[in-house]
Each structure stands twice: as structure tokens, then as C-alpha cells.
Structure 1
Amino acid sequence: MLPFLDVLVRRETDGRLSHTVYRKPTHTDRYLRADSHHHPSHLASVSRTLINRALNLCDPQYIDAELDHLRRVLETNGYNWRQCTRLASSSCKRRPAVAERTPAFLPYVKGVTDTIGHLLRRRYSIRTIFRPPGQLRNLLRSPKDKDPLAVPGVYMIPCDCGSSYIGETRRNITTRLKEHIRSVKNMDTHTSAVAEHACSAGTTHFLRFDKVSVLAREKYFVPRKVREAIEISRRPNFNRDGGWALPPAWKPSLQSASAYNVAGLECDTVSAVCSTVFASTRESNPTPTQPPANESNEPTTSHAPYSTRDSRQRARWARNSSRQ
């Protein structure tokens, strides 16, 4: 016997090969129950798939036994066998091809969304795909703890001498750390600056691989390289180079950014650093296009933080002023 792709291949006594449906020994014969709150098309697909699989895979001498097994299983799960056979036979008929628009996805609520689906289908030729409502697996929390280093981005390996290594990777940071550890064990100073620092420092320094921190989560190449260069310029490190060459105009802003704890933000990206720094710069040094600050003792109203919408409004106000 050879199980392969749900097919159990047997060699008969006369040397012929016969085929039937294969099930694992641990199979429980549990399927979507007929009384569950799902769209009728989802319920019909259970019996239709099982019956058509039996008819397509089994040889004639095994079809009756397989159908008897399916009848017991489906009735146990609440299905009507006569209705199941009728659905399986109707699926063999070819439906005429209809040019359909982009499908609409709706949560299934019995008596509500199915009526909406019929309306969209008949009047607007929009196929409706029904999704089951909230499931138990979406309500329960996963028992597995998430690895905070299993993300791409910029990371820091500290050393007890006070300096650190700043690196970036498009893979999981955990994978890159394993490569650093292997390089340190093999004393491969050509491929890893971490190994070079460990060998040159001797026994007076200790690399803290147990305290590796994620400075920024970033999957895109350019923002990741820019953020690495920013962190290298802000922290004492033993990197071989400074990463990407940043414009000299960035240096005053990066020096001011050291006063902000940007690494604690949830959306820790290059834009978060720049927006924090440039917002403080605009408050201290207003541009000519900005309205002058209120220096009198008149009461002032509080404004929302500077945003992209405010910048567009200020640019539009500057263009109108220049035209006048």
C-alpha cells in the first residue's frame, strides 16, 4: 500500500493497481456541522467535495464502501444524505461564464447579508463572498510567546565597555545574531566587526548578546539603511564604517534628536525621528511663511501638533500671499 495525495494505492493479487481514498489513522471524521452559522454555500461544499472526491479517486469496487462511509460521517455531522447527493450531482453541470466585477466581501448574518448578496448578484452582477463571523481562534490568545527579535530592521549589540555595534538586516534579527555569534566563536574577523572587536579587546570586554535591542523595525531597504546611519552617528560604536553617507545638513537635527527618546515609539521609523526634530525647529525658528507668534498678553488658543495637513495649508497660504 502506498498513500499519496489522499489516494491509497494497492496492489491486487493479479498484479493490478487499485485506488481508493486514504485517511490518516488519526483522522476524526469531524467536519463543519450542518447547524453551524455559516453560509449555505460553505455547508454545501463539505458534502460536495467529499462525494466528488470518492467518485473521482476510487475504483468501481471501492465506490460503494466509500459512499457508505461518507453517509455515516455526514449524518453524524448533521447533514441530510439525500440533499448531499443532489448537490453533488448538480455540481457536475457547467455554468455559463458571466463577466463579473470585483467581488464584494461581507460577513455572513443569516437573513441579512444573504439578501444583500442576491441583490448585488442580480442587479449589478457583483459576486458576493461571505466570510464567517467571529471565530473562537480569533478570540483566544496564542499560547506561544512572540520573539521580539524575529523582525527585520536595525539592531544594537552592546558591549560592557560602553560602545556597541549597530547593524541592519532584511531578515529576522535573530538569524543575523546567530551569524555574529558563529563569527565570534570561529574568530572570523574578516566578515564580522563584532568578532574583530571581541578579538582585539581580549578578555577585558564582554559582548552582551543577551541584551540585544531593536532600534527600529523596518522592512524597506532605503529607510533601513538611513536609520542605521542615523543610529551610528548618535551612539558610540565600534562599526567599521558609518553606513550610508548622510547629508551634512542633517547633523544639527541629529544632534538635537539625541534629546528625544525616539526608540520607544511604536512606529519607530525615520519619519518619526525627522518629524520630532523638525517640529521643535519650527517652533524655535519660524519661517517667513509662518504667521508671527503672538507676543502680546492676549489669550491664545491651543493648536494641534504640526501635521502633514498643516504643511499643505501653510504652503497654500504662502502661494496666495505671493500672488497678491
Structure 2
Amino acid sequence: MEHEKENKFHFLDIAMKRRKDGTVQRSVYKKDTWNGSYLNFNSFCSISYKKALVKTLFHRTERICTSDTLEEEVMNGKKCSKNNGYPLKFIEKYGKCEDKKPKESTANRKPIFTQLQFKSDDVTGSINMRLKTALTRTYPAAKLLVLSKTTCSLMQSKVDRYPFHVTTNCVYKFTCTCQSSYIGRTERRAYFRFKEHIPKSLGLDGLNAFNSAIARHLLDTGHEVDILKSFKVINKQSNSNLLKFAEALAIKRLKPDLCIQKETVISLSLLW
């Protein structure tokens, strides 16, 4: 629970300061770890998200701040938006506070949601307009809300929320105590695949360990490893094709030394 210190107190997004006359001054509260990073204007996502971000920042400032802190917080909001790549005209257009007209008493339109793959602002905007026009003519009582979906990067680091015993369809990385590394993939439960790489798990010797680069390395060097510490899931995918791409990208980027003889399933020709 937060307590008042030096006449200052914060609750959620509101920073409050007690004035000498007993009134309260309000401003936008920011944590010490706040660095001003928001969705960048050049990010590959729908322009509607960027409009909503600017509107939310300035609307929040207007609702929270008292008259003596409003101007400073508005300037901070403009500076922060510019640092995230937003043009000044864009900020002024969507960040201004508009006087809301009283709503007329009309029948509520039923919201209908649909989701489309985001291609570009021009393509998405054109499709949205056509869909809404067609729906308005056919079903005037319906209100269409279109959500834009972007594809996640294959190399996006994902937190492993599940133990090895139940993790499937993943790309994994092995790191030996000597820092030699290996990248592999499995559609089975990861823990069972990890155990197959360890000579002790299968009673392997130098003759029948040729199918595993990790096993060969451990037999040649005599190093001992802990499965839970040496193996790490670095990516998960929903199907085998994406899994192959993710493995190939990981090998291309991380260049594990134990994968020298391993031919990637998918040949990559990347600009980087």
C-alpha cells in the first residue's frame, strides 16, 4: 500500500500533491523505470492503433491534470510522441481535445467483430471502408468493428511457460559447460528429446552415438551436463513448416558450432 510522503501520493496513473491551501494538485504519474517507449510510428501495424495511442495519451492527460500541470504534461506528451517517430501534424490532429456533442437518443447498433490480416494501411483502410459500406446498406442496425492482425516474427523470443515434460513443437538450444552450442527442433515432448542427446540416458557408446552431435561431443570431451540447465526452449510454433523455418533462422543467426555438419531443412537466402 502506498503512503503519503512529503505531501505526495500516487494512485494508478495519478500523481497527487497536497498544496499549502489544502487543495490537491494532479499530474500524470510515471514509474522510475518508465523510459518513454511506446508503439513506434514506423511499426508494421494498423494506423488505427497509432491514432488510438496518441488519443489515449492526451485524453488521459486532460482527464487527470489540474490547470497548473496540464500545459507541462501536454508538452511532455508531444515530446514523447515525437521521440517515438510520430509526425507533429499527426500528434496535433489526433492529440487535440474535442468537445463531445451530446448524443442523440437513437437505437443502439449491434457491434459485429471481424479480424483481417494486416497488409498495409492503404489495403486495410480500403477493405474496411468497403466492408462497412456494404454492411451499412444491408444491415443498418449492425456496427462493424474490424481488428487488424499482424504476424509475429519467427525469431521472437517467447517465454517458456510450461515445463519440458509438456512442451512440444519447439526449437531448442543446447549449451555445454565449454560453451559449445547446438540448435535443434522437435515435434515431440522436448524433455524426451533432450534425454536422447545425453549418452547416459540411452547407454550410448562411441559407436552408436553418431546420430547426435551433442552425444558425440560429450563422449569426445567427457563433459557432464545437467539437462535442465544446458537445454533451453528458444521458440515455439504451431506447425512443422514454421518450426523448420524457425530452426533454420536460429542456426543462421546464432551459428552454433556443433551444427557444422547439420544441413538445414530449408535453405535461407537472407539479406542480413
Please identify the structure whose Cα radius of gyration is greater: 1
Going by fraction, where is helix more abundant, 1 or 2?
1
Query: Quick one: higher RCO (CA 8 Å, sep 6+), 1 or 2?
Result: 2
